[in-house]
Chain A
Amino acid sequence: KQEVTQIPAALSVPEGENLVLNCSFTDSAIYNLQWFRQDPGKGLTSLLLIQSSQREQTSGRLNASLDKSSGRSTLYIAASQPGDSATYLCAVTPRDKLSFGAGTTVTVRA
């Protein structure tokens, strides 16, 4: 059974600092990996999707890397802003059935 772990569980940084969020998974036979953002009481917003054949994806201040052989992905958020405060979830799928990590709750202090 696929297990997804996210470290740290919570993170608090001053505005402007770069964020590094980690995700690890036990079964490397994945189809893709997605990073999501969830605001309190809200649904999920997809941030980045990395297909298993890719090593990274970038969107604006966000960059996600994938090392499938070691079962790891890292989400980098450059120059953090208070609006980046949210819970970030990673999820992997063998095809279309997602397994989620517990998330990293980020607080960016102004």
Chain B
Amino acid sequence: GAVVSQHPSWVICKSGTSVKIECRSLDFQATTMFWYRQFPKQSLMLMATSNEGSKATYEQGVEKDKFLINHASLTLSTLTVTSAHPEDSSFYICSAPGNSGSSYEQYFGPGTRLTVT
């Protein structure tokens, strides 16, 4: 099956600094990728849709200037959390739809645990 990787798997940073998280589709191309955030004991909330070669589409309530998304190639999307604060501490997961016929099955990365101190 299709594989999506994320790097790093966990990161600790100081308040006010920026952190970049990478999402890669390893064996397929993804013109679209999705970024989710998950707080403890809660479900995944879609943050934004990353589009290769164009601007990302952000969900309501997500600050686009704080969560910068770059989808520079068909296999890589990056999420940069700028000027991180403790409330940004969360589990960030990306996904990409596999183009297997018409199913559009979603493949998820293993997630990145961000802790802001």
Contacts from A to B (Cβ < 8 Å)? 31-32, 34, 36, 41-46, 49, 51, 89, 91, 93, 95-103
> Is B113 a contact of A41 with CB atoms below 8 Å?
yes
- Residues of B in contact (CB 8 Å), total 25
Specify which chain B residues have a CB less than 8 angstroms from the CB of A36 in the assembled complex: 108
- Would you call the interface of chain A mostly helix, strand, loop, or mixed? strand
- Interface membership of chain B positions 78-117, coded 1 if the CB is closer than 8 angstroms to chain A and 0 otherwise: 0000000000000101010100001111111111010000
Chain A, residue nearest B111 (CB): A43
Which of B1, B42, B91, B103 is within 8 Å of A102, CB to CB?
B42
* Interchain Cβ contacts within 8 Å, total number: 59
In the complex, A89→B106 CA distance in Å? 13
B11-19, B43-51, B68-76 - the one binding chain A: B43-51
Which of B34, B102, B108, B111 is within 8 Å of A46, CB to CB?
B108
Specify which chain B residues have a CB less than 8 angstroms from the CB of A103 in the assembled complex: 43
Q: How far is the CB of A91 from chain B (nearest CB, A)?
A: 8
Chain B, residue nearest A103 (CB): B43
**Is B77 in the interface zone, CB < 8 Å from A?**
no
Which of B93, B104, B107 is within 8 Å of A95, CB to CB?
B104
Specify which chain A residues have a CB less than 8 angstroms from the CB of B25 in the assembled complex: none
> Is A96 a contact of B113 with CB atoms below 8 Å?
no
Specify which chain A residues have a CB less than 8 angstroms from the CB of B113 in the assembled complex: 41
Specify which chain B residues have a CB less than 8 angstroms from the CB of A43 in the assembled complex: 6, 93, 108-111
Q: List 28 A-B contacts (CB under 8 A).
A: A31-B104, A32-B105, A34-B105, A34-B106, A41-B111, A41-B113, A42-B110, A43-B109, A44-B44, A44-B108, A45-B108, A46-B106, A49-B103, A51-B103, A89-B44, A91-B106, A93-B106, A96-B32, A96-B97, A96-B104, A96-B106, A97-B34, A98-B46, A98-B106, A99-B46, A100-B43, A101-B43, A103-B43
